[in-house]
């Protein structure tokens, strides 16, 4: 709606980008709106920030070493893509390119479903019916696991609806994994339970060793 309103006031050659967490639907709609106008849209998603909202949460190094995904399509002018890549590199980001749909598949696993799980855990554990002692027994592990549940409910409503199909597929897979773990627990399968935690530790440790995070490990 905003793009439709300000489009008549933009000069030919102007480049629009965004910082949204879902790219497929956004890119398709904005490319449709800008087609033939002389204005170009290039999708962007900087993987930076936190659960905090608003300009008060910004800081000078926000994008330093953060990955920024740029999502051109087959009709995006090469010159426009280059300028957006230069923009993100100028503020310290590490730019990678992929299609809008590939981006949405990957972030459904690494960003969107983790938010759903954090919210589900907070809802399960912190409901008042459990009593005040429940909260007293929630320490740093619970705090770190549920931190992102403090994000904007309105924003996460919109994100999950916009990436619905990918999120549903990942949730189905995760529910299957949890059911398998539950079965191993029921039959007291020590080997399967140990493998579950060993594999998770190996994957997590290898990932953490190869990335640069805003907050220290």
The fraction of the chain above a pLDDT of 90, given in percent, is 87
| pLDDT number for residue 57 | 74
Residue 208: count other Cβ atoms within 10 Å of its Cβ. Answer: 10
**1 pLDDT tier (thresholds 50, 70, 90):** low
- pLDDT value of residue 61: 84
Contacts of 26 (CB under 8 A, 6+ apart): 18, 20, 43, 100, 162
- Helix axes 164-186 and 113-125, enclosed angle (nearest 10): 50
The CA distance from 97 to 194, in Å, is: 38
- pLDDT for 48 equals 87
Mean pLDDT of 196-203: 98
Mean pLDDT computed over every residue of the chain: 93
Percent of the chain with pLDDT over 70: 95
pLDDT value, residue 214 = 54
What's the mean pLDDT in 138-166? 96
Burial of 90 (0-12, 13-18, 19+ CB in 10 A): exposed
CB 32 within 8 A of CB 57: no
Tokens of 115: 């938010």
pTM of the predicted protein model = 0.90
**46-96 confidence digits (pLDDT tens):** 998 767 767 777 788 889 999 999 999 999 999 999 999 999 999 999 999
- Compute the average pLDDT of residues 25-53: 90
Q: What is the pLDDT of residue 193?
A: 98
pLDDT of residue 215: 43
Residue 217 has a pLDDT of 30
């Amino acid at each position: 709606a905003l793009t439709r309103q300000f489009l008549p006031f933009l000069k030919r050659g102007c480049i629009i980008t965004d910082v949204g967490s879902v790219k497929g639907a956004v890119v398709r709609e904005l490319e449709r709106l800008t087609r033939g106008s002389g204005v170009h849209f290039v999708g962007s998603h900087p993987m930076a920030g936190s659960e905090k909202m608003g300009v008060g949460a910004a800081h000078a190094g926000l994008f330093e070493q953060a990955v920024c995904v740029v999502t051109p399509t087959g009709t995006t002018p090469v010159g426009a893509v280059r300028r957006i890549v230069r923009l993100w590199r100028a503020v310290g980001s590490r730019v990678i390119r992929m299609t809008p749909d590939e981006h949405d598949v990957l972030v459904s696993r690494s960003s969107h479903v983790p938010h759903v799980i954090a919210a589900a855990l907070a809802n399960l554990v912190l409901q008042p019916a459990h009593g005040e002692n429940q909260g007293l027994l929630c320490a740093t592990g619970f705090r770190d696991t549920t931190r992102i549940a403090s994000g904007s409910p309105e924003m996460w409503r919109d994100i999950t609806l916009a990436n619905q199909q990918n999120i549903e597929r990942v949730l189905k897979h995760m529910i299957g994994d949890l059911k398998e773990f539950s079965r191993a627990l029921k039959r007291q399968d020590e080997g399967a339970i140990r493998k579950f935690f060993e594999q998770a530790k190996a994957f997590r440790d290898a990932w953490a060793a190869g990335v640069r995070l805003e907050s220290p490990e």
